[in-house]
Amino acid sequence: MGSLQLKSVRKSFGNVDVIKGIDLDVKDGEFVIFVGPSGCGKSTLLRIIAGLEDATSGSITIDGAEVVTVPPAKRGIAMVFQSYALYPHLTVKDNMGLGLKQAGAPKEEIEKRVSKASAMLSLEKYLARRPAELSGGQRQRVAIGRAIVREPKLFLFDEPLSNLDAALRVNTRLEIARLHRELKATMIYVTHDQVEAMTLADKIVVLDAGVIQQVGSPMELYNRPANLFVAGFIGSPG
């Protein structure tokens, strides 16, 4: 569970075309990376998949069902943002459980899932703290924990490591790779970091100006870049 299909997805803001006809197949359990220069439409595409933004046209199916009219909370998707987006007045535990609480889940179920996710992320010691009492790396782990608690079919990550220092970026990247193996969920991950792309991805989608330039495994893109743009982005000889 967690396959995704985009067909002819377009998005304009006013008369500016930002996403210009995207076709993409993501298989259940795949780790897919979107790379591309700043402003090329990566975040917009994630937000469209999540339902936070409406596509101007096109079709989006998850596990074969059209979701264009399905509200974000009903898509089985959880998104992790660069800025963590935690509630400052809530404890770690309440931040992680909030989505389930809003969905009306019973208290025991929320407790069970929060404690499981906090164990996966070694956050047990911090459950009573508020975000201001945590480091950046810990805050991002809480945001990832909050996503796990919802048991989504599909995780969306928008440059989740960009605000972390270099050492923490490596650790958190390895942690996300481990979670992908353990949860067997589908993950779509935006980055502009080649190392993240090459090490995490089953499949890399190279975007430029709202258009897919190439889709392939890291080695395919490295060995056979479709054009100079891809070669330059992946760092291969071309």
Question: Cβ–Cβ contacts within 10 Å for residue 159, how many?
Answer: 20
61 versus 194: smaller Cβ distance to Mg ion? 194
Q: Work out which of 4, 30, 31, 42 binds ligand ADP, going by CB under 6 A.
A: 42
Q: Which of 26, 33, 43, 216 binds ligand ADP (CB under 6 A)?
A: 43
CB of 39 to ligand ADP, least distance (A): 4
By CB under 5 A, is residue 43 in contact with Mg ion? yes
DSSP secondary structure of the chain: ---EEEEEEEEEETTEEEEEEEEEEE-TT-EEEEE--TTSSHHHHHHHHHTSS--SEEEEEETTEE-TTS-GGGTTEEEEETT----TTS-HHHHHHHHHHHTT--HHHHHHHHHHHHHHTT-GGGTT--GGGS-HHHHHHHHHHHHHHT--SEEEEESTTTTS-HHHHHHHHHHHHHHHHHH--EEEEE-S-HHHHHHH-SEEEEEETTEEEEEE-HHHHHHS-SSHHHHHHHT---
Residues 106-145 that bind Mg ion (CB under 5 A): none
Mark the segment that binds Mg ion (CB under 5 A) among 11-19, 42-50, 58-66, 88-96.
42-50
Least distance to ligand ADP from the beta carbon of 44, Å?
Answer: 3
Q: Do 221 and 206 contact (CB within 8 A), yes or no? A: yes
Q: Considering only 36-44, 72-80, 121-129, 140-148, which stretch makes contact with Mg ion by CB under 5 A?
A: 36-44
What residues contact 175, with CB distance under 8 A and at least 6 apart? 121, 141, 144
Binding partner of 95, given ligand ADP, Mg ion, none, CB within 5-8 angstroms per partner class: none
* 13, 74, 87, 122: residue in contact with ligand ADP (rule CB under 6 A): 13
| Residue placing its CB nearer to Mg ion in the complex, 43 or 213 | 43
Count Cβ atoms below 10 Å from residue 7 Cβ, excluding itself.
Answer: 15
Binding residue for ligand ADP (CB under 6 A) from 44, 118, 138, 214?
44
Residue 18 binds to ligand ADP (criterion: CB under 6 A): yes
Contact region for Mg ion (CB under 5 A) — 5-13, 38-46, 180-188, 193-201?
38-46
Shortest gap between Cβ of 190 and ligand ADP (angstroms)? 7
Q: Which residue is nearest to Mg ion (CB)?
A: 43
Which three-class secondary structure state does DSSP give residue 235? Answer: coil
Please choose which of ligand ADP, Mg ion, none residue 13 contacts, taking the beta carbon within 5 to 8 angstroms, the exact cut-off set by kind. ligand ADP
Q: 18 touches which of ligand ADP, Mg ion, none (CB within 5 to 8 A by kind)?
A: ligand ADP
Under the rule (CB under 6 A), what is the footprint of ligand ADP? 13, 18, 36, 38-44
